[in-house]
């Protein structure tokens, strides 16, 4: 087995990049410190989800998402993380002995069936009441979509079309630089375009509908576009606790390839592989508990 250290390099690079944001914050932003809360100068949210089944088939899925936000008068710093892992356990039974006298032996195997990680940071500076400049850096991995590692640097602007007590609608646009490695192939880099539309609508007094659509295009190869669309409904149980159900769609117009064994027409394995595209769409349905700090 060959161990690839490339993702670890990206994770370290992203971590250093996020730390750099703190070093370049404007002095004016630091001068106007907000009131300290439970986590000092930071507001935080954690979303925790876990599903497990048992019996003849055993599965478990764990997800954890966190958001940390620090705001000044005209500036904001946002860090986000997301982890999703799913495992499936299969049991193989064999009988040893005779037809009337035998012993059943079981072999249990656990297999990773889902894996998705995200680490991102963003710095916002308000130019006007509804206009903001943005710089961001992110790293993600989705092995079952063929993405070993993807680093993304973004710079752009956003405009809040609707910003009321119950309704928020904002659109962002900017340029990107991507360093991407699909499993089994060399890394590639390219400049791109990103557009984001975000909509929040408060329902009654304790519930919220939210939807965010992120579109990324490869300017070097325009047909290599993708989107990340998440919609959710949350209901508050108390001031610091809520329940949330969300649907996330990840689509790649040019998905990664999967090596598939090649057989002769007579069924003989040639020992070769051919590249076969993976499915372009991944769907995640998540129920979680949201904790606000």
At residue 10, the pLDDT reads 43
For the cut 90, the answer to whether the pLDDT of residue 9 exceeds it is: no
Kindly report the number of other CB atoms within 10 A of residue 140's CB atom.
20
* Predicted local confidence at residue 39, as pLDDT: 55
How big, in percent rounded to 5, are the helix, strand and coil portions of the chain? Answer: 10, 70, 20
Decide if 148 contacts 6 (C-beta within 8 A): yes
pLDDT value at position 12? 42
End-to-end CA distance of the chain: 43
Is 70 exceeded by the pLDDT of residue 128?
yes
CA dist 223 → 186, 254, 275 (Å): 20, 7, 19
- Which residue in this structure is represented by tokens 């809360």? 37
The Cα 188–Cα 248 span in angstroms is: 26
Proportion of the chain above pLDDT 90, given as a percent: 49
Residue 16 phi/psi, 5-degree rounding, is -65, -35
What's the mean pLDDT in 15-41? 48
Answer yes or no: is pLDDT of 110 > 60.
yes
Which residues pair with residue 182 across a beta bridge?
147
Q: How far apart are CA 81 and CA 63, in angstroms?
A: 11
What confidence score (pLDDT) does residue 259 get?
Answer: 84
- Give the mean pLDDT of 246-253: 93
Q: Which CATH number fits domain 6-292: 3.30.70.240, 2.40.160.40, 2.40.50.180, 1.10.1370.30?
A: 2.40.160.40
Q: How far is CA 99 from CA 20, 92, 94, 105, in A?
A: 70, 19, 13, 15
CA dihedral 290, 213, 210, 22 (to 10 degrees): 50
pTM: 0.80
pLDDT for res 223? 95
Residue 144 has φ and ψ, to the nearest 5°, of -80, -5
- In angstroms, the CA 7 to CA 139 distance is 9
Cα Rg of the chain (Å, integer): 23
Whether pLDDT at 277 is above 60: yes
- How confident is the model at residue 19, as a pLDDT? 44
Does residue 225 surpass a pLDDT of 70?
yes
Please give the backbone phi and psi of residue 35, each rounded to the nearest 5 degrees, phi first: -70, 145
Supply the pLDDT for residue 82: 94
pLDDT digits (tens, 9 = 90+) for 175-217: 999 999 998 889 999 999 999 999 999 998 889 999 999 999 9
């Amino acid at each position: 087995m060959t161990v690839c250290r490339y993702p670890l390099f990206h994770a370290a690079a992203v971590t250093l990049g996020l730390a750099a944001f703190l070093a370049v914050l404007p002095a004016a932003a630091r001068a106007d410190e907000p009131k300290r809360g439970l986590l000092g100068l930071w507001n935080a949210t954690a979303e925790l989800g876990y599903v497990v089944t048992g019996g003849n088939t055993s599965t478990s899925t764990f997800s954890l998402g966190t958001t940390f936000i620090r705001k000044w008068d005209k500036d904001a710093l946002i860090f986000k993380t997301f982890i999703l892992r799913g495992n499936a356990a299969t049991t193989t039974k064999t009988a040893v002995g005779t037809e009337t006298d035998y012993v059943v032996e079981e072999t249990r195997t656990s297999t990773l069936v889902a894996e998705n990680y995200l680490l991102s940071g963003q710095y916002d500076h308000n130019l006007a009441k509804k206009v903001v400049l943005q710089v961001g850096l992110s790293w993600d991995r989705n092995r079952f979509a063929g993405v070993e590692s993807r680093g993304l640097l973004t710079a752009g602007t956003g405009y809040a079309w609707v910003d009321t007590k119950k309704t928020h609608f904002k659109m962002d646009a900017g340029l990107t630089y991507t360093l991407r490695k699909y499993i089994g192939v060399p890394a590639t880099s390219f400049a791109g375009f990103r557009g984001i539309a975000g909509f929040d609508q408060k329902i009654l007094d304790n519930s919220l509908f939210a939807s965010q659509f992120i579109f990324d295009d490869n300017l070097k190869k325009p047909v290599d576009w993708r989107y990340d669309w998440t919609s959710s409904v949350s209901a508050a149980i108390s001031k610091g606790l809520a329940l949330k159900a969300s649907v996330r769609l990840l689509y790649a117009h040019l998905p990664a390839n999967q090596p598939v064994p090649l057989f002769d027409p007579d069924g003989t394995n040639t020992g070769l592989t051919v590249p076969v595209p993976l499915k372009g769409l991944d769907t995640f349905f998540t129920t979680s508990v949201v904790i606000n700090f």
